[in-house]
Chains A and B, each alone.
Chain A
Amino acid sequence: MKIRQTIIVSVVGAMTLMGGMAAADILRIGVEGAYPPFSQKEADGTLSGFDIDIALALCEQMNRECELVEQEWDGMIPALVAKKYDAIVASMSITEDRKKRVDFSEKYYFTPSRFIAKEGATFALTPEGTKGLKIGVLRGTTLQCHVEKTFPGADLRLYNTQEDVFADLVTGRLDMQLNNTLGALDGFLNTDQGKGFAFFGGDVDDPDCLGDGTGIAVRKGDPLAGELTAAIEAIRADGTYATINNKYFDVDIYGK
């Protein structure tokens, strides 16, 4: 089967182009593209990463023609609601707040989140200890919710892409950053850029904000959620998931 990969960089582009191209049988999937190793853009402009491979595998499993639509993170849910695409495969955690706007499939992976700071940093992860500390997170993530709720005195800085967060951590504009541990390892700590930085503190425990696992978001009431859950179970069972998983990670990131 044919899998079309359309890359539309800007929101505006997505809005104008997709409106006309929408055909009923093509499943349009919203993806990000700046969140390695889950999604990233190669030098030639194509998308790659765990989320991308999973999305394509699910399409194959469901026997649907798919189209990937690139969207910046903070417009992800609004664009889904506005029918720019039909599902989001972009490492989106299933949270109560988001469930007010969209429905989710069952999780397709679960990884904890942790802070990263300079090696040997000695902050206290308490509301007092983080007062005035410059903490960077991606705008519109569960981590924004966590830092705002738990450390209201911190100087929280919101970024458009995770890559910008890492860049500012390196320049020293940030004291700490918070994101998914696997994304942090492959996207930063295990790269040259991440030398001299390390995880700080343990896994963040905040189910209210962080939710329980990463799922595929669809519009409210869309039966697609059930179909996607079935497809996730199927690729878990037939080994496709494991193949993709092992391409990027040493451990099974599906979680318990």
Chain B
Amino acid sequence: MEPERTFFEYLQSFSEAKSPIDFVLIYDNLGRFFDGALVTLQLTFLALLVGGLIAVPLAIARAYRKLFFSPVIRVYTYVFCGTPLLVQVYLFYFGLGQFKAVQESFLWDPILSSPWWCVVIAFTLNTAAYTTEFMRGAIETTPHGEVEAAKASGMSALTRMRLVILPNAFRRSLPAYSNEVIFTLHGSVIASTVTLQDLLGVGRWLNGRYYLAYEGFLTAMIFYMAIVLLITVALRLAEKRLLGHLRPRETSSSAAARVAA
């Protein structure tokens, strides 16, 4: 009888037997990929959190066409939505570093000298710009009746914003926000171009270290897919809960129609 082989031994024999992919190398370096995934998640969610917080007041100012603020914010969102994220990151990382004044300012150490902070700042400003614009849309499309009802029950402008307009605008922008979360995750690969060891950075490290073509990319891809799957499931659950009232209701007649079909 053949002796029991451990999973690792199986992997080794498979990789040596002319497998196009070196699974042993991937297995040996899985720890690094988990570290990389952590960096990717930190960058993505820190940017989303801070960017989201910045976006709320900006979206309100845009929706109510506040004099002065609204056009300034429009210019900001136009610049950050209208230029590639890669260019923005390079501008913060390589661009600002060129100026002696920046290097000598208090911002250099520890903020602008660190690739991590440069990337976080660029990602945050980028996602804030996108979030501002679709949240503005959601605020503007608040049904007029809701606002009137709130006024009629004596709510102040602030209370109306807090209890009626914003919660509903958040709900309605959730599908758009799901996309934004995934786009930000996808965009986070740019971190690897400025020396950060995020998921793609680790993949490129593995390829570079062992002169491989796709082992690193393939592993990174599987990690990204797993992360996206988790995000999608979480957001779908949130949508189900928060947007439940907008789903077509299951009635006895529609159930009967389905059975008949």
Cα–Cα, bound, A107→B173 (Å): 62
B213 to chain A: which residues have CB within 8 Å? 75, 77-78, 81-82
Q: Mark A147-179, 1 if CB is under 8 A from B, else 0.
A: 010000000011110001001100111000000
Cα–Cα, bound, A78→B114 (Å): 31
Q: Is the CB of A148 within 8 A of B211?
A: no
A117-158 interface (Cβ within 8 A of B): 136, 139-141, 144-145, 148, 157-158
Contact for A168 among B97, B201, B209, CB less than 8 A: B97
* Residue B205 interfacial (CB < 8 Å): yes
A78-102 interface (Cβ within 8 A of B): 78, 81-82, 97-98, 100-102
* Residue B210 interfacial (CB < 8 Å): yes
Q: Is the CB of B195 within 8 A of A172?
A: no
* Residue A60 interfacial (CB < 8 Å): no
Cα–Cα, bound, A158→B206 (Å): 12
Measured CB to CB, the closest approach of chain B to A238, in angstroms, equals: 33
Cα–Cα, bound, A78→B210 (Å): 10
* Residue B113 interfacial (CB < 8 Å): yes
* Residue B103 interfacial (CB < 8 Å): yes
Q: Is the CB of A78 within 8 A of B208?
A: no
Contact for B211 among A82, A140, A157, CB less than 8 A: A140
A97 to chain B: which residues have CB within 8 Å? 210-211
B164 to chain A: which residues have CB within 8 Å? none
* Nearest chain B residue, comparing its CB with the CB of A82: B213
B114 to chain A: which residues have CB within 8 Å? 173
Q: Is the CB of A139 within 8 A of B211?
A: no
* Nearest chain A residue, comparing its CB with the CB of B97: A171
Number of interchain pairs (Cβ within 8 Å) = 60
Contact for A98 among B195, B204, B211, CB less than 8 A: B211
* Residue B193 interfacial (CB < 8 Å): yes
A144 to chain B: which residues have CB within 8 Å? 208-209
Contact for A139 among B98, B108, B204, B210, CB less than 8 A: B204
Interface of B, secondary structure class, is helix
Measured CB to CB, the closest approach of chain B to A119, in angstroms, equals: 17
* Residue A74 interfacial (CB < 8 Å): yes
Contact for B208 among A74, A81, A100, A168, CB less than 8 A: A74
Cα–Cα, bound, A139→B193 (Å): 11
A100 to chain B: which residues have CB within 8 Å? 211
Q: Is the CB of A173 within 8 A of B113?
A: yes
Cα–Cα, bound, A133→B193 (Å): 20
* Nearest chain B residue, comparing its CB with the CB of A100: B211
Q: Is the CB of B208 within 8 A of A139?
A: yes
B201 to chain A: which residues have CB within 8 Å? 158
Residue of A74, A81, A159 with most partner-chain B CB within 10 A: A74
* Residue B212 interfacial (CB < 8 Å): yes
B205-261 interface (Cβ within 8 A of A): 205, 207-214
B80-101 interface (Cβ within 8 A of A): 94, 97-98
Q: Is the CB of B103 within 8 A of A78?
A: no
Contact for B207 among A74, A157, A167, CB less than 8 A: A74
A-B contact pairs, 15 of them (CB 8 A): A74-B204, A97-B211, A98-B211, A102-B211, A139-B205, A140-B207, A140-B209, A140-B211, A141-B208, A144-B208, A144-B209, A157-B115, A158-B197, A158-B204, A171-B103
Interface contacts beyond A158-B205, A164-B94: sample of 5 additional A-B pairs, CB < 8 Å, sorted by A: A78-B207, A78-B214, A140-B207, A157-B115, A158-B204
Interface of B toward A, CB cutoff 8 Å? 94, 97-98, 103, 108, 113-115, 193, 195, 197, 201, 204-205, 207-214
